A and B are shown apart, each in its own frame.
Chain A
């Protein structure tokens, strides 16, 4: 299996074991307990800068979703039949908007979801460029 690199650094883990779920790189406020994704140096809720980095996910609940038939931008561009997108409330609290993994009709509000990595491109060194998606928990 090719080496895997993240679509963009600083947002999620890429575990060495492809069977392991990725985590999102988040922040927890030590003063008020609120969790955030992506990372922050100041709590958006109470403005404290007493914050710590945490790993978020991989589980959450589907808050809403759609299926885009229009093409997207960049390497997410859909050449064929569009792609599903959704917002997932992570177990720790933050709501994350992301492309979903699956087909139209696979999704219901309130269903349990989990993070997964999918290859979106190959870089010039032949490595897999991976991005996180949410998919229904099997």
Chain B
């Protein structure tokens, strides 16, 4: 496999962008990534478009915004992990020598979707994702003595990280306290509204290149290397729920992370900054353990010590995470890549993690899949 670097990234801020056409969101993020990479669209050898709710032709036609160069364009979809999978496909194309430069573009407009009864009248569509993850929380409270305050502290941390990020959907104008999180509307017990990610529109993009090509195109830029990308689906385990569940038992995340650490030749102790699928606050808490950042049962201790705040032992969700930065679906995994690249270049401003060398990005997608990507600077 070739050494592959992330040459450039870009985003359209996540949020409610009702009047903005999908192709405009995609164009803005893609052009920002090309400008950041310092290359022309003509240099891109292939593109993958991560778009969950796509009608036929959407991916190919939106790519015309960048110009008509004849490059191969492929749409990918893996639920919430869609953008991460687009990144992985682009990485594979460069790593296996198919192209020198590839683009991964994620875009979504949740405000265009109509969640009516017609498309959802299925026996397994009765319990929303928030209900599913609320049941994780109920179970963990039973097994580990987790309190709603722990979930509130995770959420407050990510909201406050979001306040430091101009690309974040949620940018609170005051410090969010756990008390404020607990006092927000109850959605699915014990999860309150502020413990849940918002509905979003947005786009994000990454440009990947073979390391020697990147050095030629951008000789002065610190290189951010792709050290691992592992994608897994479920392995059957006891407790697998076939109808209605968003994901299976959480073993999938642990298995995926273990394989990614092995591929990168590192362990969790080498990681400087982490982004996870924190669509609901309970998830981030679980992933502290499943990704190996603490022993089972110590996730609450991580929260109490402030380990995962910027400035803590191992900062999580420095851009605000899904909880604040937002979660449009298609682009979410690429927004994680964008933030991680800024952190590893040392250009994350007020959010900068001191001496960040290795970043880990994790997403899960309904169905279900898990994907872990590890990036490292020179």
Contact = CB atoms under 8 A, between A and B. Distances in A.
B139 interface: yes
A97 B238 contact: no
A73 B135 contact: no
A70 B137 CA distance: 17
A97 B123 contact: no
Interface stretch (A14-22, A36-44, A50-58): A36-44
B241 A70 contact: no
Contacts of B120: 73-74
Nearest to B238: A93
A30 interface: no
A8 B123 contact: yes
A130 interface: no
B129 to A, nearest CB: 10
A121 to B, nearest CB: 10
Interface in B119-152: 120-128, 130-132, 134-139, 142
A99 interface: yes
Interface stretch (B22-30, B80-88, B184-192): B184-192
A63 B127 contact: no
A8 B238 contact: no
Given A7-B123, A74-B121, A66 B115 contact: no
B117 A96 contact: no
A108 to B, nearest CB: 9
Contact of A44 (B127, B135, B240): B240
B128 A67 contact: no
Interface in A95-112: 95-99, 104, 109
Nearest to B126: A76
Interface extent on A, as a size class? 35 or more
A68 B135 contact: no
B128 A68 contact: yes
A7 B188 CA distance: 24
Interface residues of B, number: 37
Nearest to A77: B117
Contacts of A86: 135
Interface in B224-245: 236, 238-245
A88 to B, nearest CB: 10
Nearest to A10: B123
A74 B116 CA distance: 7
Given A37-B242, A70-B187, A74-B125, A85 B135 contact: yes
A45 B130 CA distance: 28
Nearest to B130: A70
A67 B117 contact: no
A87 B135 contact: yes
B123 A11 contact: yes
A66 B121 contact: no
A96 B241 CA distance: 6
A134 to B, nearest CB: 12
Given A67-B188, A77-B117, 18 more contacts: A38-B242, A44-B236, A44-B240, A63-B139, A64-B142, A66-B134, A68-B127, A69-B186, A73-B115, A73-B120, A85-B135, A95-B238, A95-B239, A95-B240, A97-B135, A97-B243, A97-B244, A99-B127
Interface of B: 115, 117, 120-128, 130-132, 134-139, 142, 185-191, 236, 238-245
The 8 closest A-B pairs by CB, nearest first: A66-B134, A64-B139, A73-B120, A74-B117, A97-B244, A64-B135, A76-B126, A74-B121
Interface of A: 7-8, 11, 36-38, 44-45, 63-70, 72-77, 85-87, 89, 93-99, 104, 109, 131
12 contacts: A44-B236, A66-B135, A66-B138, A67-B188, A69-B187, A69-B189, A70-B188, A73-B125, A87-B241, A96-B241, A97-B124, A109-B139
